[in-house]
Structure 1
Amino acid sequence: MAIWLVASAAVSALLLHALSRLVEETDPELALSLFPFNAEATAHRVEKILDAQPAQEDLPAIEALLDGALRLHAGQARLQSLRSEVLLRRGDRDGAVEGFQQALRLSKTESAALQRTIAWSIESHDVSGAIQNIDILLRRHPAKIRDLAGLFSALVATEEGYAELRQRLAVMPPWRGAVFAQIAADPARLAAGSSLLIDLHEAGAPVGDWEVSTIIQALIREGRALEAYNLFLGTQSDEDVALGGYIHDSGFEGPASSKPFNWQIRGRPGHAIERLPHPAFATEPSGLLIQFNGTPVKDMHVRQVLHLPPGHYELAIEVSAANARLPKGLFWSLQCLSPSREIARLDIPEGSYRGETISARFELPPTGCPLQVISVHTGVIAESWKDRYAGNVAVRRLHVRKGVS
C-alpha cells in the first residue's frame, strides 16, 4: 500500500509538472500554482512584472522571489539575468554588471545579459567586444535583431566601428542582411553602407544582390542617383563589367538580378520569358524570348533602371517574331523614373520576321530626369478575351547610343 501511494504521488507530481510546463508562458501564475518549482514559469512571471514597470518599493519583493528561485535553480542563467535587471533598476549597477557576467558564465547565449553587455561595451568604446557579443546574440536569437534598432547605423558612423563591422561581415554571419536593412532605413548612414559593400567586394568577400539592392533602392528614394549608380558599378563582378553599357547587358546574356541597374525579370500571367537560344529561334545565340500563351496579357515585368547623362541619344532594338499576335500592341518604353514621363517608345510589330531593327531618337534635359527606366508593356488596360496575345517575340539586343540628334 505504501509503495502504491509513493508511486501515485510521483505520477501526480509528474503530471502537475507537465501541466505547469504547458502554460508557463501564457499563464505563469497558474503554472506556479500547479508546480511552484517551475523555473521557467518564475522567469515568465517576473518578466511580466518588470514589463509593467513596477514601482521602486516593489523591487525588493521581486528580488526576494528571484533569490528563492535561484536557491533551487542556481544554474539558471535567465533567472540570474532577471535578478541583475532588478538590481540595475534599484540603482546597483556594479551588482548588476557582476550578475550579468555570472549569467553569461552560466550560458554564453543568455539574451538579456548579452543585450545589456553589448550596450555597456559600446558605452565604454569596446566596439570589438560589442560586435563579438552581437554575433553570439544574433546567431542564437535571430529575432533579437529588432531590439538592436539603430545599433548598426551607429557603429558605421565611427572609424573603429566601421572597421570592426566590416571584418565581421566579411565572414558572412547569418545576420549580415539585417545590418544593411537597418542602414538602409537611416539616410544619414547610406554613404557608409555603400562604402561597406564596396569594401567587402574589393576584399573578395561575397556581396549579395539583395544587400546591394537594399542600399541602392534607399539611395534612389532619397534622390541620390549618382551614389546609387556608383554602388552598382563598384560591386560588379568581372562578368558584369564585361556586359556594361548605357543599358547593362543589352544582349540579355547574363542572369536576371534584383539590382535596379540590371535586368529585373519576373513572371506574370499570360506569357513566359526565357533566355535564348531556344528551338523557336535556333539561329539566335542570345537574347530574350517572350512566349505568349493565347490569353490576354495586361502586366509584364522586364525592366531596368538607367543612369544616362543629359544629351541626345538613340534607343534601338533588334527583334524577331514568329506568328506574333499583339491585339493591343507591345512596346518598350523609356521613361523618367521620377517624375514619371515617357521620353521614347519602340512599338513591336505583329507577324513573323527576322532581325528587324526599330529605333527612336530622344533627348535628356540637363535637369528633371536623373534616372530613367526601360520596360516592356502591352496596351491592355482591361483584360478581355477578345485581346488574346499569341506567338513569340525574340529580342536580340536593346541598346542606347549617344550623340544622335
Structure 2
Amino acid sequence: MLAGLLTIVAAFAITRQYASDVPADPDRPYFAADGTAHFLDGAQDLKESDPAGALDLLRQALVVSPLNVDALVNTASIKAQSGGTAEVDAIYRHVRDLTNRNLTTLYHDLDGYIRNNDQKATIRTATLILNIIVGPDNSLNTYIPLRAALIDHLVSLSGEADNADLIVAGLQRRPLWRGSFLTALAQKGPGTAFPDLADRLGDVPPAGSAWQAYLQRLIGSGQSRAAFATWASLLPADAMERLGYLNNGDFEDPALLPPFGWQIKGTSGADIAFDTSTSASGATSLEVTFVAPAEFQNVQQVLILDPGAYQVSGKVRMSELKGARGVQWQLVCVSGSALTPNGSSAAFLGSSDWSDFSFPVVIPEAGCDYQLLQLVVPARIRSELELRGKIWFDDLKIGRSP
C-alpha cells in the first residue's frame, strides 16, 4: 500500500494542472499575473520536448512576477526530472512560505515524509491535503485515487497512540472526509482502532455506516458473539431488557438496529415498510408489497443461538398474494462462507386475516457460528420469482422448545 501511495503522490506532484487549482490567501500573488500567462503557456508546451527552453520562459515569468506560484512550481517540477534535489527543495520551501495550500508543494512534502517514515508529519500533511481536495461537491473525480490512498494510509497509521491523537484532533474539526475515513477504519483498521477512536470522538452514530461496517467485519471474521456484545453496548440503557433470541419481533422498537435488529434492503421487486395502519398487536407491523419478479432475501436479522431446539413463531396476514412458490421465513446456519438451511415456515400464498404460523429449528453443536432469519422467495428457477400482492408480519418470536 505504501508503494502505491508513493506512486500516486508522485504522479500528482508532477502534474501542472494541480499546481494552482486551490486559491490561497487572496492578498498574496498566486495565479498567473498580468504579463506572465504567455510565458507559462509556452513553458507548458515545451516542458517535455525542450525542458531548457521551458525553464527560460519560466525565468522570464518570474522577472515579471517574482511571487508567481505557477512559475515556481513548474520550475521545480522540471528541475526534479533532472535530479536537482537541493534546488527543488529550496524552490518548494519558497512556495511554502508563500502559501501552505499549494497541492504540488504538499505532495512533495508528503513524499519525503513517507520515505523517511516521519509518521506525524505524514498525518499532518495528508490531513491538510484531504481538507483541500475533499469539498462540498465531493471534489474533482481526478482526486479519487489520491483521496482513497491518503485515507487508507491514515488508517494504517491509526493503531499507534500518538498517531491516533493527531487523527482524532483532525476529525474533531468534522472535515468532509471524516465519514469516509471512519468507514475505512471500521472495515480495515488495525485491532480495536475503530472502537477506540469512536469512543474518543463520542459522536459516531451507532446507526451510521462506520459502526455497521465494524460489526459486519467482526461477524465476517468469526467474532459474531463479540459483535453482539459490541452492538448491545451501543444501545440505550433501557433497550437491554428488551433483547431476546429474536429482537424487535413486534416491529415496534427502532432503537434495535442492524445487524442484530432487522436489516432491510431495498429492491425493485418489492416495497418494504413498517405499517402503522394495521397490526396483530401494538401499533406496527412489517408490510411487504411484491410488485415485480426479483430475487428476494431483503429482510433479515443476525441471531446468536446456542445449540439446541427452538420454535420460531409469529402472525401473518395476506392480501391476494399470488405466485409460483410464495414467500417464507428461513433460518440459516452460517459458518465461514457456508450457509446451511436449518428450518423454514410453510410458503405463504393467498389472502387471509391475521393467523398464527410456526416452525421448528435445531441448532447443531458445530458448523453454526451464527444464524440468519430471513424472509425469502424460495425460487428454484427464474420463472418462480414471479410474486404479486401484499403480506404483513407481526409478533415474531423465537423460544426454546420444551
TM-score, normalising length from structure 1? 0.71
Residues 228-255 of structure 1: per-residue CA shift (max 9 Å, x gap): 4454344445586566443343332345
Q: Which amino acid aligns with 2:367?
A: G
Distance 2:107 2:127 in 1: 11
Q: Which amino acid aligns with 1:112?
A: T
Q: Which amino acid aligns with 2:171?
A: L
Distance 1:254 1:198 in 2: 25
* 3-state secondary structure, aligned to 2:95: helix
Change (3 A) 1:149 1:176: closer
State the 1:332 CA deviation: 0.9
Distance 2:110 2:241 in 1: 44
Q: Which amino acid aligns with 2:163?
A: G
The answer to whether 1:108 aligns with 2:126 is: no
State the 1:312 CA deviation: 1.7
Q: Which amino acid aligns with 1:196?
A: L
Is contact 1:78-1:103 (8 Å) kept?
no
Distance 1:245 1:41 in 2: 70
Is contact 2:285-2:393 (8 Å) kept?
yes
Q: How many residues align?
A: 355
Q: Aligned runs of 1:364-379 on 2, under 5 Å?
A: 364-365=364-365, 367-379=366-378
Change (3 A) 1:281 1:222: closer
Identify the residue that residue 307 of structure 2 maps to in structure 1: 311
Distance 1:91 1:385 in 2: 68
Is contact 1:250-1:399 (8 Å) kept?
yes
The answer to whether 1:352 aligns with 2:352 is: yes
Distance 1:70 1:360 in 2: 83
Q: Aligned runs of 1:249-328 on 2, under 5 Å?
A: 249-255=248-254, 259-278=258-277, 280-281=278-279, 284-293=282-291, 296=293, 298-306=295-303, 308-327=304-323, 328=325
Q: Aligned runs of 1:238-249 on 2, under 5 Å?
A: 244-249=243-248
Q: Which amino acid aligns with 2:388?
A: Y
Distance 2:254 2:44 in 1: 50
Is contact 2:106-2:125 (8 Å) kept?
yes
The answer to whether 1:74 aligns with 2:66 is: yes
Change (3 A) 1:199 1:37: closer
Change (3 A) 1:357 1:297: same
Identify the residue that residue 155 of structure 2 maps to in structure 1: 153
Worse-matched range after superposition: 227-236 or 148-157:
227-236
Could you say what the CA RMSD is over the residues aligned between the two structures, in angstroms? Answer: 3.9
Change (3 A) 1:119 1:296: closer
Distance 1:233 1:40 in 2: 61
Identify the residue that residue 338 of structure 2 maps to in structure 1: 339
State the 1:161 CA deviation: 0.7
State the 1:321 CA deviation: 0.7
Distance 2:237 2:167 in 1: 26
Identify the residue that residue 141 of structure 1 maps to in structure 2: 133
Distance 2:98 2:70 in 1: 9
State the 1:225 CA deviation: 3.6
State the 1:378 CA deviation: 1.8
Identify the residue that residue 10 of structure 1 maps to in structure 2: none
Distance 2:362 2:119 in 1: 56
* 3-state secondary structure, aligned to 1:189: coil
Is contact 1:267-1:300 (8 Å) kept?
no
* 3-state secondary structure, aligned to 1:178: helix
Distance 1:244 1:42 in 2: 71
Distance 1:83 1:147 in 2: 27
Is contact 1:84-1:96 (8 Å) kept?
yes
Distance 2:257 2:60 in 1: 56
Residues 279-327 of structure 1: per-residue CA shift (max 9 Å, x gap): x44864123112345x656424112233x15322524232131435354
Change (3 A) 1:135 1:148: closer
Distance 2:362 2:78 in 1: 69
Change (3 A) 1:207 1:393: closer
Distance 1:43 1:364 in 2: 74
Distance 1:231 1:42 in 2: 61
Q: Which amino acid aligns with 1:277?
A: T
* 3-state secondary structure, aligned to 2:59: helix
Identify the residue that residue 209 of structure 1 maps to in structure 2: 208
Identify the residue that residue 165 of structure 1 maps to in structure 2: 167
Distance 2:362 2:164 in 1: 44
Distance 1:159 1:285 in 2: 48
Residues 24-58 of structure 1: per-residue CA shift (max 9 Å, x gap): 97xxxxxxxxx983466467658x84xxxx9xxx9
Is contact 1:43-1:79 (8 Å) kept?
no
Change (3 A) 1:161 1:311: same
Instruction: Select the residue among 354, 375, 397 that pairs with 1:399.
Output: 397
Where does the alignment leave 5 or more consecutive residues of structure 1 unmatched?
1-23, 26-34
Distance 1:107 1:318 in 2: 66
Distance 2:345 2:43 in 1: 67
Distance 1:235 1:170 in 2: 20
Is contact 1:314-1:400 (8 Å) kept?
yes
Is contact 1:339-1:369 (8 Å) kept?
no
Which structure has more RCO (C-alpha within 8 Å, separation ≥ 6)?
Answer: 2
Change (3 A) 1:335 1:70: farther
Change (3 A) 1:378 1:199: same
Where does the alignment leave 5 or more consecutive residues of structure 2 unmatched?
1-15, 18-34, 135-142
Distance 1:82 1:230 in 2: 56
Distance 1:45 1:110 in 2: 22
Distance 2:42 2:111 in 1: 26
